[in-house]
Structure 1
Amino acid sequence: MLKSLYKKTLVAAVVMVTSVNVFAADKVYRLKLAESWGPNFPVFGDSVKNMVKMAEEMSNGRLKIRVDSANKHKSAFGVFDMVKSGQYDMGHSASYYYKGKVPNTLYFTTMPFGMTAMEQYAWFQYGGGQELMDEVYAPHNLVAFPGGNTGVQMGGWFRKEINNLDDLKNLKMRIPGFAGEVLAKLGATPVNIPPGELYTALERNTIDALEWVGPSLDLRMGFHKIAPFYYMGWHEPATELMFIINKKKLDSLPADLQAILKVAMHKASYDMYVQSYASSAENWAEMTSEFPDIKVKTFPAEVLTAMKKANDEILSEKAASDEMAAKIIKSQQDYLKLVRVWTDISEFGYIQSTKE
């Protein structure tokens, strides 16, 4: 009789454990994500949608992520705080938007005269960049991951041609991040304005110039209708957006869902770079054929030299006053020296040697 009872108890235990495991496997985990962009924002917003779709599909529906755009949460530049506080579980934004709050976040978007997109991805994944980003975000209960790259950004739209350094004096320009500090050192007035307000600010003379992204997004924004001078880039050679996650929330997910989420972010990040590259090529062709009044310019050598000098001086000042900044700056500069030799031989060398 005891033997029979033991068997019944064992069978009941197996059934119970199996039921628990099935229940756990079927449990749906719901996350909320705040993005800095408006609803259906092209390219940037597509990166978020792609990540959400992949995460749900790879998890067989166990991981569902609700996306709130800036028009809903009303704080395009508040994503960092909302995720840190737990109001949202995740965010999609740009790291350099938060330099006023955590100065060392700005290095993980892009740096003037710095690495290209592929060089920077190599730094993130194989040169210690991700580990440094982890170190900066950890005190805020956050984990950040690359969230999509625009590639080389254009230098901006200007109402008037820039012929010399004096033309930068008192120029009010929308330009975030480190580049804003460089222009400020040269006498300009940098401001940061949410994406949805850029055209209006330019139209109403609130600003004299702005940089946004490049042909992939600029053409549809209509900036060329107001500011016809379109300058080549110098300030953002590899603009990387970011996914940020509340670390406690990430740790609370089952291990397989954590892995799925990271893979989805990684894939969405690269996909955005490819989409941005393709869109820029298509839109550049349209711009040059449909809008011949757009005047594509390169900044004068005098201006570029002054920008580079100002950039180097600011980097030296930041490295001298902040140990973590010094660590990040050194890592980026050392990696650029290493990787640029190969870029010159491979990418640049190939283009130069096969140009007709």
Structure 2
Amino acid sequence: MNFHIDTSRRALLGAIAGGLALTVGSVAAKAEEVITAATAFPRQLAFTQSFLGFVELVNERGAGVVRIDYRGGPEAIPQNQQMDATARGVIDMHYGPASFHLGRMPEADAFVGSTVTAMEARENGGFDIMKEAFAEKLGVELLAHIDSGVQFYVYTIEEPTLTPDGDLDLSGRTLRSQPIYNAFFESLGAVPVSVPVPDVYTGLERNTFDGAGWPIIGIQDLSWDRFLKYRVDPGFYNTDLVVVMNPDSWAELGDEAKEIVRQAAIDYEQISYDAFQKQIAETNASVQEAGQTVIALEGEAADRYLDAAYDSAWERMRAAGTERYDVLREKYYTR
């Protein structure tokens, strides 16, 4: 009888052990939560490389808990579909310019027309207001405004004209543009044309246009500096690159995973800012050494130039209509 009791106990213990093994195995399999991500730009561009630095930071800190799985850039999901794909849950995370979505979220111009860093906007409450706008207008969870502090410039193939008062006069010149530049370029007399980034090099090569608006970062990565021999200073605007997530994907993350991603997002705003300030200085020296000439506006002419640039962004937001205009201007604009 003892034999039969022992056998039964062994069978019972075996069944319990097997069940525990299945449970533990199941928990282990689910332990590392995976976030799928896509970027608006191709992998080789400096901004995408910066986002991959954020991915690496999360994956290092979240080893065994949470991991970001980078699926690619526009070749994986078309650029103009990525935000909606994130809102619908096709992918969990997206990195790209907020200004791509000005039509639905005019508040994006707060990033464009910002004169404060992302860190300062978190501190003064501006970031929380932007989180509300992203959730309401685009249906996504705003995690970070990374790569801030990178300004934009006007570049030309031929030397630009200055008026007797020292103002920039681009009358009749055709500049590669995008919506955030259009009103500003027109105020300078230029004719803005919309050309996708991959087609700009060919356009410059064929003299399709006379110049372009672009940040100092990436100008060499794209080889545009081969044609754009003049840069107008000072720089204007601010990069508006954001990391967002599908709200359900964010809510479903475990508390530990969520905290790892949240803190990495906060930390990477500073990390990316510092890294790009260094890269800006290096690129500035490199392009000038390669023959690019800087045309620096001075004094009141520089002030008029910057006022025209920033006013165009804030006026666009005001005209589009948002109840957040006044508070966002207070938080993001200090000129």
TM-score, normalised by the number of residues in structure 1 = 0.75
Alignment partners' CA distance in 2, 1:155 and 1:221: 15
Counterpart position of 1:132: 129
Q: Structure 1 residues 242 and 83, CA, compared in 2 at 3 Å: closer, same or farther?
A: same
Listed one character per residue, the Cα deviations across residues 313-355 of structure 1 (whole Å, up to 9, x for unaligned) are: 763574364322233223334xx27xxxxxxxxxxxxxxxxxx
Contact 2:236 2:306 in 1 (8 A): no
Q: Tell me the equivalent position of 1:312.
A: 311
Q: Cα distance 1:303–1:266, how it changes in 2: closer, same or farther (>3 A)?
A: closer
What stretches of structure 2 of length at least 5 have no aligned partner? 1-11
Amino acid at match of 2:264: A
Deviations 1:150-191 (A, max 9, x none): 524252311231324684234332344544322234443334
Aligned to 2:38: 34
CA drift at 1:99: 0.9
Q: Residue 51 of structure 1 aligns with which residue? A: 54
Query: Aligned equivalents of 1:166 and 1:57: distance in 2?
Result: 48
CA contact (8 A) 2:110 2:314 kept: no
What secondary structure does 2:69 align onto?
Answer: strand
Distance in 1 of aligned mates of 2:53 and 2:305: 41
* CA apart distance, 1:201: 2.8
Structure 2 CA distance for aligned equivalents of residues 129 and 256 of structure 1: 26
Give the letter aligned to residue 221 of structure 2.
Answer: R
SS at match of 2:109: helix
Aligned residue runs from structure 1 range 229-268, under 5 A: 229-236=230-237, 238-268=238-268
Output one character per residue of 1:65-112: Cα deviation in whole Å (capped at 9) or x when no partner. 22233342252243222212222111000111211232222322x31x
Letter in 2 for 1:52: V
Q: Counterparts of 2:328 and 2:147 in 1: how far apart (Å)? A: 20
Q: Name the structure, 1 or 2, with higher relative contact order (CA <8 Å, separation 6+).
A: 2
- Distance (Å, rounded) in 2 between the aligned partners of 1:152 and 1:56: 26
Task: Decide which moves more: 259-268 or 280-289.
Answer: 280-289
Q: Which residue of 2 aligns with 1:287?
A: 287
C-alpha separation in 1, matches of 2:162 and 2:193: 22
**3-state DSSP of counterpart to 2:186:** helix
Give the letter aligned to residue 220 of structure 1.
Answer: D
- Output the CA distance in 1 between the equivalents of 2:313 and 2:39: 30
Question: Which protein is richer in helix relative to its size?
Answer: 1
**What's 1:180 paired with?**
182
Please give the alpha-carbon distance, in whole angstroms, between the structure 2 residues aligned to 1:57 and 1:152: 26
Structure 1 residues 251 and 40: alpha-carbon distance in aligned structure 2, compared to 1, 3 A threshold: same
Give the 3-state SS of the residue equivalent to 2:146 in structure 1: strand
Q: Distance in 1 between matches of 2:330 and 2:67?
A: 39
C-alpha separation between the residues in 1 aligned to 2:284 and 2:168? 30
Cα distance per residue 1:214-252 (max 9 Å; x no partner): 1x422333223212111113422x324110111111001
- Output aligned runs, 1:106-125, within 5 Å: 106-108=109-111, 110-111=112-113, 114-117=114-117, 120-123=118-121, 125=122
Structure 1 range deviating more: 78-87 or 131-140: 78-87
| Counterpart residue identity of residue 56, structure 2 | K
Contact 1:90 1:243 in 2 (8 A): yes
Q: 1:256 to 1:41 in 2, by over 3 A?
A: same
Preserved CA contact (<8 Å) 1:229 1:295: yes
Q: By how many angstroms is 1:302 displaced?
A: 4.5
In structure 1, list runs of 5 or more residues that go unmatched: 1-8, 338-356
The RMSD of aligned alpha carbons is: 3.2
| TM-score normalised over the length of structure 2 | 0.80
